[in-house]
């Protein structure tokens, strides 16, 4: 059993504070993804858990033991770095065995453990090679192997897939997830890629400017974003945001007037958020616009529809339809259940 508790953790470099008090409670075996744009403090947070960065304020507990002042090696963690950080002058075997040698384990046990993990990751054929003679994907697996042989209580991943090409990334994504589930080790995973975050996480922590904007399962966050930032960051293609004004009878939107659906109870100047996949084919009157651009994805297409008085084109995902041409006028009908309203000042969701 290994749980992690992060309580009111803060980090400052000299006078600039980068993390402003984050609380996360992680259960045993959970796969937590820290996601956010660059500079949001996600790596810093991970490194504080690892012990590579000092904690300015707050407490990190692993298994109810405060680890703030423990050396990384005493925290029972293993980390996979973005550039893998394999020792270039050691063979794959030595890379994986190095930590175990320092733990002063008997030689036979080291060999057994390394062999076992190498088989698990299918790297047993190049145990004698140097990292420089391996491909990116192989290096990635060696880095994971080095983490696994330590039999840690917690895995920490710092953007481990960002140096791989797109196809390999999808493959490794599945492998890491399966591996983690089989080993049942509590994991914190940092990424800026929201697809990675959605597909891998048991729970997501969306970070912005050193604050946890929202914590929840991927679907919770997708269905119920609490702020405009989270709504825009999670989901691909990103959510459309349109300025609007809701009155008792109407919704004034992009210079057009639509009837207010009965279930919308909020009033005032707001930001309407609609995901591209939440438009429906319908004869009823919707927002009018002109198709500006079409992106064909194969199974579906993305329409970029511009409206007068709206600075950004509205992105709509719909089934492949050869009849739609650039320049056509388009009738956009919202899925009434999937409309999100945000306060333009506080960016908070209103409902």
Among the listed residues 281, 79, 260, 95, the one whose alpha carbon sits nearest the alpha carbon of residue 185:
79
Instruction: Report if residue 77 touches other proteins, rule: CB under 8 A.
Output: yes
Instruction: Enumerate residues 6+ apart whose C-beta is below 8 A from 176.
Output: 144, 157, 160, 161, 189, 200
Q: By CB under 8 A, which span of 66-74, 113-121, 263-271, 293-301 interacts with other proteins?
A: 66-74
Measured from the CB atom, the residue of 81 and 302 that comes closer to other proteins is: 81
Q: By CB under 8 A, which span of 94-102, 134-142, 217-225, 310-318 interacts with other proteins?
A: 94-102
Upper half-sphere CA count for residue 301 (Cβ side, 13 Å): 16
Instruction: Report if residue 98 touches other proteins, rule: CB under 8 A.
Output: yes
* 92/149 Cα distance (integer angstroms): 13
Measured from the CB atom, the residue of 84 and 189 that comes closer to other proteins is: 84
Q: Residue 129 Cβ, how far from other proteins at the closest point, in Å?
A: 14
Q: Residue 74 Cβ, how far from other proteins at the closest point, in Å?
A: 8
Element (H, E) at 100: helix 92-102
Q: By CB under 8 A, which span of 2-10, 36-44, 97-105, 303-311 interacts with other proteins?
A: 97-105
Q: By CB under 8 A, which span of 59-67, 95-103, 214-222, 308-316 interacts with other proteins?
A: 95-103
Angle at 311 between CA 309 and CA 314, to 5 degrees: 95
Instruction: Report if residue 13 touches other proteins, rule: CB under 8 A.
Output: no
99, 136, 237, 286: residue in contact with other proteins (rule CB under 8 A):
99
Among the listed residues 184, 229, 185, 221, the one whose alpha carbon sits nearest the alpha carbon of residue 205:
221
* 49/42 Cα distance (integer angstroms): 11
Residues contributing to the site for other proteins (CB under 8 A): 50-52, 71-73, 77-79, 81-89, 98-99, 102-103, 132, 146, 150
């Amino acid at each position: 059993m290994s749980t992690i508790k992060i309580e009111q953790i803060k980090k400052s470099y000299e006078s600039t504070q980068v993390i402003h008090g984050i609380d996360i409670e992680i259960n045993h075996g959970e796969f937590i993804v820290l996601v956010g744009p660059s500079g949001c403090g996600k790596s810093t947070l991970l490194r504080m858990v690892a012990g590579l960065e000092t904690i300015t304020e707050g407490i990190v507990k692993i298994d109810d033991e405060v680890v703030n002042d423990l050396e990384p090696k005493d925290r029972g963690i293993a980390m996979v770095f973005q550039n893998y950080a394999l020792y270039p002058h050691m063979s794959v075997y030595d890379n994986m065995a190095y930590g175990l040698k320092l733990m002063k384990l008997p030689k036979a046990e080291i060999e057994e453990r390394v062999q076992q993990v190498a088989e698990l990751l299918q790297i047993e054929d190049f145990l004698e090679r140097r990292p420089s003679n391996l491909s990116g994907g192989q290096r990635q697996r060696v880095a994971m192997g080095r983490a696994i042989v330590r039999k840690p209580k917690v895995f920490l991943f710092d953007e481990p897939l960002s140096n791989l090409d797109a196809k390999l990334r999808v493959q490794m994504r599945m492998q890491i997830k399966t591996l983690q589930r089989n080993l049942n080790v509590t994991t914190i995973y940092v990424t800026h890629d929201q697809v990675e975050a959605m597909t891998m996480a048991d729970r997501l922590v969306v970070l912005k400017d050193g604050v946890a904007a929202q914590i929840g399962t991927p679907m919770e966050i997708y269905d119920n974003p609490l702020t405009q930032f989270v709504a825009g960051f999670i989901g691909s293609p990103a959510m459309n945001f349109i300025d609007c004004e809701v009155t008792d009878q109407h919704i004034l939107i992009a210079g057009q007037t639509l009837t207010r659906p009965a279930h919308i109870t909020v009033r005032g100047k707001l930001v309407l958020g609609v995901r591209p996949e939440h438009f429906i084919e319908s004869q009823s009157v919707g927002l009018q616009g002109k198709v500006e651009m079409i992106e064909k994805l194969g199974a579906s297409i993305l329409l970029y529809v511009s409206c007068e008085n709206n600075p950004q084109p509205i992105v709509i995902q719909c089934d492949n339809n050869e009849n739609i041409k650039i320049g056509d006028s388009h009738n956009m009908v919202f899925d009434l259940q999937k409309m999100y309203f945000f306060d333009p000042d506080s960016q908070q969701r209103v409902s």
